[in-house]
Amino acid sequence: MSTFDNPFDAKHELTAGCSCGAHASQAEHDHQERSKTLQEVAASEDRRFENVVAGAVMRAIFPQDVTRRAFLQSVGASTALAAISQFFPLATATEVFAQGAGAIEKKKLSVGFIPITCATPIIMAHPMGFYTKHGLDVDVIKTAGWAVIRDKTLNKEYDAAHMLSPMPIAISLGVGSNAIPYTAPAIENINGQAITLSVKHKDKRDPKSWKGFKFAVPFDYSMHNYLLRYYLAEHGLDPDKDVQIRAVPPPEMVANLRADNLDGFLGPDPMNQRAVFDGVGFIHMLSKELWEGHPCCVFAASREFITTAPNTYAALLKAIIDATAFASKAENRKQIAEAIAPANYINQPVTVLEQILTGTFADGLGTVQKVPNRVDFDPFPWESFAVWILTQMKRWGQIKGDVDYSGVAKQVFLATDTTRLMKEVGLAPPAATTKTFSIMGKTFDPSKPEDYLKSFAIKREA
């Protein structure tokens, strides 16, 4: 089921998983729903709040989804809405609801980000006023690298920050830093990464010919690292023995590619598109071709922040979720590209950002590709994402021994909180917190992580 849902859409279930049955896969269904339903649902703040309240009322009147759908189909959505408004003051309820619960403890916040398009919701919420709308005065601070953003957040110089989705898990587990309970209440972006190779490898498109290549990923604890390793291993290359993978900060990737110091990278945008723009690389493959709808970066905050300033946290998260919903609409993407391009934010040419966000891009091989969901935005932190990340951390020896997969996933990926807040900003979250997905055609079942891990031929011994 889509994250952004309309309770007055007869085709939808309000309570459980994918319903329409018209799509081959969940991902496909999700995507279509996002582009379709979201546009009307998220159209205006007021209408969205109204939808939430109305959704709640509908659920109260028709506890059985089947009855509700039958009712809607027989009388039509507008009649139903009019009928309900008759005996329930929807307008008043919406108003009360929109004002929110408690007072915000701390209005002035600093949020750190790395200048890549993954951070789009965090960044755009500043120039486009999503923070102020939720009563916050937020400074978004550009940061030099993942280790620094981690340290500055742990130091409390930042109240919250943009991180790679495996980072809050690693911090919570104390891998690569002291163990501090950390959380990822919202995913920033899904898809939006790519494998970029140097132009001199234009004819080496088969990974089997990549032995001895030098690759870069942004950080050891990144989806980029795990996806690149996964891709190489599926093609029979051992990522630790047959190639070299190093952690290189994103801005250095293009410079190193130009200097012939790297053969390629699985990096975040804008670096992939920038390599094409500057004529030093070509896009071998988008990360969505590996795993459609994979998470990349998250919005992260310490558990301490959540417990000491719950209302601030809720307002901040609402602003992020709101911005994410706005960013998921294709027609807003050009406007966003312009808003985040200046030196104060991402500091890249608008042409580059537009190509990334609209998905109409030059691939470096002489063709213009059109992939509208090259990068997409969906805040829901599926716990199964965290479980998959943990399996890969274990697969490559970053963590050893027994892992409490679902326990860690629940603690870090706060799907329950997000569900509540998504409802509050007028979006309909999915009812489940886990789902299965497939990566390069191989299905991952979050309930059987150990079996999944065993199924790989190339891995480090635990």
Q: Residues in the site for another protein, rule: CB under 8 A?
A: 115, 139-145, 147-148, 151-152, 154-157, 250-251, 254-255, 258, 274, 276-279, 342-345, 347-349, 351, 355, 360-362, 366-368
**Least CB distance to another protein at residue 156 (A):** 8
Please give the helix or strand (H or E) that residue 191 lies within, else none.
Answer: strand 190-191
**What count of residues does the chain have?**
462
Phi, psi of 70 (to 5 degrees): -65, -40
**Least CB distance to another protein at residue 364 (A):** 9
Angle at which helices 333-340 and 310-327 cross, to 10° = 120
Nearest to 206 by CA among 185, 178, 231: 231
DSSP-assigned letters across all residues of 91-143? HHHHHHHHT-SSPPS--EEEEEE-SSGGGHHHHHTTTTTHHHHTT-EEEEEE-
Q: Name which of 366 and 441 has its Cβ closer to another protein.
A: 366
DSSP-assigned letters across all residues of 56-90? HHHHHH--SHHHHHHHHHHH-HHHHHHHHHHHS-H
**Least CB distance to another protein at residue 255 (A):** 7
**Least CB distance to another protein at residue 315 (A):** 20
Q: Name which of 7 and 268 has its Cβ closer to another protein.
A: 268
Q: Name which of 24 and 368 has its Cβ closer to another protein.
A: 368
Q: Name which of 273 and 384 has its Cβ closer to another protein.
A: 273
Q: Name which of 69 and 274 has its Cβ closer to another protein.
A: 274
For residues 215 and 262, the answer to whether their CB atoms sit within 8 Å is yes
**Least CB distance to another protein at residue 267 (A):** 13
Nearest to 392 by CA among 14, 384, 157: 384
**Least CB distance to another protein at residue 268 (A):** 12
Secondary structure (3-state) at 376: strand
**Least CB distance to another protein at residue 350 (A):** 12
Q: How far apart are CA 343 and CA 219, in angstroms?
A: 24
For residues 384 and 409, the answer to whether their CB atoms sit within 8 Å is yes
